[in-house]
Structure 1
Amino acid sequence: MSDLELKKTAEKYACSRGLALADHLGSGTDGSVWKTKSNDTNDMTVVKAFQAQKNYRMELGCYQRLEFHNVWKVGRFAIPRMVDFSDEWLVIEMSIVTAPYLLDFGKTYLDFEPEHSPETWADFHQEQKEVWEDKYDEVQAVLSELRSMGIYYRDPRPGNIMF
């Protein structure tokens, strides 16, 4: 699905909820994200339109799991609250958070960790140490807390975890 198609989908969702798309915040392999503004109250939220059902389902499942556990912060990192969603349009609407934050649950796994060889895991952890340097232990603590809820976060990179 192209960015234009994702935008049209996000606009349909927004219109159905009395919202207007505002700033485009970014695009990635999972989809695209826009800030929205309520037509009635000027309240702001964010909508993410997904490329694929799989990533939409994973991210939706994570937000539902976090909501079930009443978790909106992991360590010092704020997590957006899910406001609404649409299975029809593969869109999730969420609150706006400011740094430090943890975003983007589209590549997560629920209730199981993907299998990889010991070498692959070793390479992954070495790469994470290089990326995060002195923040590595704090990032690992965040990932561990998510795992304790059955959320296996697979995209721990700057931009998704912002200090």
Structure 2
Amino acid sequence: MNRSEAEMVAAAKTYLELTDGSNETVLTELLGNGEDGIVWRTSANAAIKAFYRRKNYEKELACYIRLCRWNDVTELSGFSIPKLIGEDDHLMVIEMGIVTPPWVLDFGKAYIDRPADYPEGVLEDSFNCFREHYTSEDWERVMDLISDLRSFGIYYYDLKPGNVKIGTEC
């Protein structure tokens, strides 16, 4: 079941009310609105992501727990990974640190401990489409990142330039 944008805003605000004892932390800036959820910057210089669907929330949280909580990873192959600050399973909200490029974000479509079961050729076609957005040198860095993520059992496929960002380009 997908949540409405109003429900997402309410979930993010409720999360802040529950986790900030002073009730001074507020949403300050919309950082992104994508297929998986909505992300805001907070006055505490963190990011809050509210999810439309439980499966994307659970996948993203599992990746952050594996990388940040279990292994204290904040960078792979030169790409920053947001630090997991907190989460609420009921509200489907994740609080994370703010990062600057190069970064890897948005683990809501990742697979844990097994690759996706796409028909033959689908992944190759998808990667070829994403490859067009990067220089040859940058694509090599992206492939190194994918390999490093797989060493943690994370199969990451959503290689849009906004998710795997090298510099200040879009």
Q: TM-score, normalised by structure 2?
A: 0.88
> Whole-Å Cα distance in 2 between the matches of residues 122 and 93 of structure 1?
33
Matched, 1:118 2:124: no
Gaps of 5+ in 2: none
Aligned to 1:81: 83
Tell me if structure 2 keeps the 8 A contact 1:128–1:136: no
Aligned to 1:141: 144
Equivalent runs, 1:66-105 vs 2, <5 Å: 66-67=67-68, 68-105=70-107
| Percent of residue pairs identical | 38
Tell me if structure 2 keeps the 8 A contact 1:46–1:95: yes
> Whole-Å Cα distance in 1 between the matches of residues 12 and 83 of structure 2?
18
In the TM superposition, structure 1's runs of 4+ consecutive aligned residues that sit over 3 Å from their partners are: none
Instruction: Tell me the SS of whatever aligns to 2:135.
Output: helix
**CA deviation string 1:91-143 (max 9, x = no partner):** 00001111111111111110010112332133123223222232211111100
Instruction: Tell me the SS of whatever aligns to 2:132.
Output: helix
> Whole-Å Cα distance in 2 between the matches of residues 147 and 92 of structure 1?
22
Which amino acid in the other structure matches residue 128 of structure 1? F
> Whole-Å Cα distance in 1 between the matches of residues 91 and 54 of structure 2?
10
**CA deviation string 1:54-112 (max 9, x = no partner):** 00000000000002122110111110000010011000000111111111111111001
Aligned to 1:132: 134
> Whole-Å Cα distance in 1 between the matches of residues 145 and 110 of structure 2?
14
Matched, 1:34 2:40: yes
Instruction: Tell me the SS of whatever aligns to 1:105.
Output: coil
Which amino acid in the other structure matches residue 53 of structure 1? R
> Whole-Å Cα distance in 2 between the matches of residues 150 and 64 of structure 1?
12
How far the C-alpha of 1:154 sits from its partner, in A, is: 1.9
Which amino acid in the other structure matches residue 158 of structure 1? P
Which amino acid in the other structure matches residue 65 of structure 2? Q
Root-mean-square deviation (Å):
1.2
Aligned to 1:107: 109
Tell me if structure 2 keeps the 8 A contact 1:14–1:36: no
Aligned to 2:61: 60
> Whole-Å Cα distance in 1 between the matches of residues 110 and 80 of structure 2?
17
